[in-house]
Amino acid sequence: QPASYDVVVIGSGGAGLTAAIQASELGAKVLIVEKMPIPGGNTLKASVGMNAAETRFQTLKGISDSKELFYQETLAGGQGKNNTVLLHEFVEQAPQAIDWLAERGIVLSDITITGGMSIDRTHRPADASAVGGYLVSGLLKNIQQRPEIEIMTDTSVTGICCQDGQVCGVTLLNAQQESQDISCRSLVVATGGFSANPQMVVHYRPDLAGFVTTNHPGATGSGIALLQTLGAGTVDMGEIQIHPTVEQTTSYLISEAIRGGGAILVSQQGQRFINEMDTRDKVSARIIGLPEKAAWIIFDQQIREHNKATETYIARGFVISAGTPAALAAALAMDTAALQTTLDQYNRVVTHQQADIFGRTTALRQPLDHGPYYAIRIAPGVHHTMGGVTINTRAEVLGQNRQPLAGVFAAGEVVGGIHGGNRIGGNAVADIVIFGRMAGENAAGYALRQQ
């Protein structure tokens, strides 16, 4: 007799962990299956935060925002290609998702901004550390307190079994290559994206051959393949985001929170070349258009002090620093006068003496004039796959005929359509919590009705 659960969750990133907690709170017995040695998935690498409008943390900081504006800016950032029904649900449920986390000890009370947004709505941990590690450890703490949730790591789901058009279980394969069948009443597929599967990336986007990826090695798109065997439909598979600021020798992501904290991008010629707070697609395209296909992200001591991630960048040896702009220019083999002029011009924009010629109007926090000065060489890398399987607003996976596959739910990066042609920074963490909850709730409901 195979072991039996109400709900099996495939993948232990933010979407899977959230779904498991939500399902168990409704009374379901849950198994989470994770193919990597540790839980957390690519969510562990999420850096900037979680977008939401009309939250209590915004109110506490006196930030006035609206769901409507969040919707419009996400749609514009997504090149108008977003699934508007899912996007509406996303925006509507975002503030509840922030509260849901806070009620479970995961408090995102610091707020910053990302490219394509006009208002500070990216919620972060109060100590300004990266959001991913904080979120995953907080979710895991909740899971440890719930004996009705089991986690198996180092174990892949390699097949889904269906009987009479209804999901009935999964086949597992562990690190010793032993196979095991598990029975379940419903399934949540939360397997993430496919940025770390270069064959699959290049299949959909030949122009991305040779690009590094910021993703963990588990981001191979296996969940999409599993669901396709059940007849799931897919959407937007060619919509693949390259993130503009990736340290190329290690593929390490330099968080958008650094620009959100006031940093600028400068070419090897010592000049700015874009509104750094434009969307990721536009900033990446401009960097690729530079003669070096790379640029420098430049910040000062005040930005370093406000963002803990900078300490990691320094410890990892990414950062070149110098006491003065002239010394920094020399260290970067850059024209000294050009860099000084660039900083002077930018500082006049910050102090409202001058409008920005590139149209930057956000994250103009404080002049870049507190030495030491810092620079990291960056270029774009494959970061997020916006395409994936189709779902409805119950997180049910839809077949190619648009009909739900009975008992099969999906959430997170494995799902396509929400972000359209370009995902806004801070919207992936919102996505995994909002749709993870939805998938967990509906998967539990479905399973418990079958009893």
- List of residues contacting ligand ADP (CB under 6 A): 10-16, 33-36, 41-43, 156-157, 190-192, 218-219, 222-223, 412-413, 432
Helices (H), 270-392: 280-288, 301-306, 309-315, 325-331, 336-350
Task: Give the contacts of 350 (CB within 8 A, at least 6 positions apart).
Answer: 262, 364, 365, 366, 367, 368
Closest CA to 86 of 219, 279, 236: 236
Radius of gyration of the chain (CA): 22
Say whether 280 is catalytic. Answer: yes
Q: How many CB atoms lie within 10 A of CB 205?
A: 17
Distance CA 431, CA 411 (A): 8
**Shortest Å distance, C-beta 13 to ligand ADP:** 2
Per the CB < 8 A criterion, the answer to whether 18 and 437 are in contact is: yes
- Polymer length of the chain: 451
Separation of alpha carbons 96 and 317, rounded Å: 40
Strand partners, 390: none
Smallest distance, Å, CB 124 to ligand ADP? 17
d(CA 184, CA 28): 11
Judged by phi (left if over 0) then psi (alpha if -120 to 50, else beta), residue 420 lies in left
CA atoms within 13 A on the CB side of 214: 26
Longest dimension (CA), the chain: 75
Comparing CB distances to ligand ADP, the nearer of 41 and 49 is: 41
Q: Which is nearer to ligand ADP, 412 or 426 (CB)?
A: 412
Residues 62, 65, 68, CA angle at the centre, nearest 5°? 170
Structure tokens at 198: 């270069």
**Rounded to whole angstroms, what are the CA distances from 233 to 8, 171, 225, 392, 417?**
21, 22, 11, 12, 12
Closer of 187 and 303 to ligand ADP (Cβ): 187
Beta strands, E only, 125-206: 149-152, 155-163, 166-174, 179-189
Q: How far is the CB of 4 from ligand ADP (least distance, A)?
A: 19
Helix (H) or strand (E) holding 229: helix 222-229
Residue whose tokens read 């507190």: 370
Q: Which of 121, 124, 280, 437 is flagged as catalytic?
A: 280
Q: Give the number of C-alpha atoms closer than 13 A to the C-alpha of residue 424, restricted to the C-beta side.
A: 36
Question: How far is the C-alpha of 433 from the C-alpha of 439, rounded, in Å?
Answer: 10
For 246, other C-beta atoms within 10 Å of its C-beta total 23
Q: For residues 36 and 40, give the distance between their C-alpha atoms in angstroms, rounded to a whole number.
A: 9
Residues noted as catalytic: 280
